[in-house]
C-alpha cells in the first residue's frame, strides 16, 4: 500500500517541477509576412503563443486584398506594391479565422486562413497534473476495494 502512494507522490512532484514544453516559447515579438494573391494567403496559418506581440505585414501582389482576423476585430488592406502593417497583442488563445475583407473577385469568399494562438505552458502543466492524479487516484481506489480474501462490510438494515 505504501509503495503505490510513494510512486504517485514521486510522479506528481516530477511533473510539477519539470518544465513542460509543447513547442511554445516565452511570449515575444513576432513578425509575420503574409502574401495575398490569387485568392490565397501564404502562409495560410499563422502560429503564435498567447502573450506574443504580433506584427503582420500584408503584401498583395495581384489586386487589392484585405486581411481581417475574426475574434480580434482587426483589419488591414494592401494594394500591389503598397504593403500594410498591423501590430496587436495575441491575448486570446484559440483558432481564429482570417479572411479577405475586400471583394477581390469571384473566389473571394474562399480566401481564408487561420490565426492559431497557443495557450500558455502553465495551463498544459495543470491539465496534465489533473489527468495523472485522476487516473492514479481511480486506480488506487479500485485496487483498494478489490483485495482478495477481504470480506465486504456489513450494512445496517
Q: What is the pLDDT of residues 25-46, one digit of tens each?
A: 567 999 999 999 989 999 999 9
Residue 112 confidence (pLDDT): 96
Pick the CATH number of 30-121 from 2.40.33.10, 3.90.79.10, 2.60.40.420, 3.20.20.70: 2.60.40.420
| Beta carbons within 8 Å of 35's beta carbon, 6+ residues apart | 41, 42, 59, 60, 61
Q: What is the pLDDT of residue 121?
A: 61
Q: Which has the higher per-residue pLDDT, 38 or 141?
A: 38
**pLDDT over threshold 80, residue 137:** no
Q: Where are the beta strands (DSSP E) in 90-142?
A: 94-99, 112-118
Domain ranges of the chain: 30-121
pLDDT band at 14, cuts 50/70/90? low
Cα–Cα distance measured from residue 67 to residue 42, given in angstroms and rounded to the nearest whole number:
12
What mean pLDDT do residues 138-144 have? 62
* Residues 6 or more apart in contact with residue 150 via CB below 8 angstroms: none
Higher pLDDT, 15 or 43: 43
Cα–Cα distance, 38 to 104 (Å, whole number): 9
pTM comes to 0.62
Amino acid at each position: 500500500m505504501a509503495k503505490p502512494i510513494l510512486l504517485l507522490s514521486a510522479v506528481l512532484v516530477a511533473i510539477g517541477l519539470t518544465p513542460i514544453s509543447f513547442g511554445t516559447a516565452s511570449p515575444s515579438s513576432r513578425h509575420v509576412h503574409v502574401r495575398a494573391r490569387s485568392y490565397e494567403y501564404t502562409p495560410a496559418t499563422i502560429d503564435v503563443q498567447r502573450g506574443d506581440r504580433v506584427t503582420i505585414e500584408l503584401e498583395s501582389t495581384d489586386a487589392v486584398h484585405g486581411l481581417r482576423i475574426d475574434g480580434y476585430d482587426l483589419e488591414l488592406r494592401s494594394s500591389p506594391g503598397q504593403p500594410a502593417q498591423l501590430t496587436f497583442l495575441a491575448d486570446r488563445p484559440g483558432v481564429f479565422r482570417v479572411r479577405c475583407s475586400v471583394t477581390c473577385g469571384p473566389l473571394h469568399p474562399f480566401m481564408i486562413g487561420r490565426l492559431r494562438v497557443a495557450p500558455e505552458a502553465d495551463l498544459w502543466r495543470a491539465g496534465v497534473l489533473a489527468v495523472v492524479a485522476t487516473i492514479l487516484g481511480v486506480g488506487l481506489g479500485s485496487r483498494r476495494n478489490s483485495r482478495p480474501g477481504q470480506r465486504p462490510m456489513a450494512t445496517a438494515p
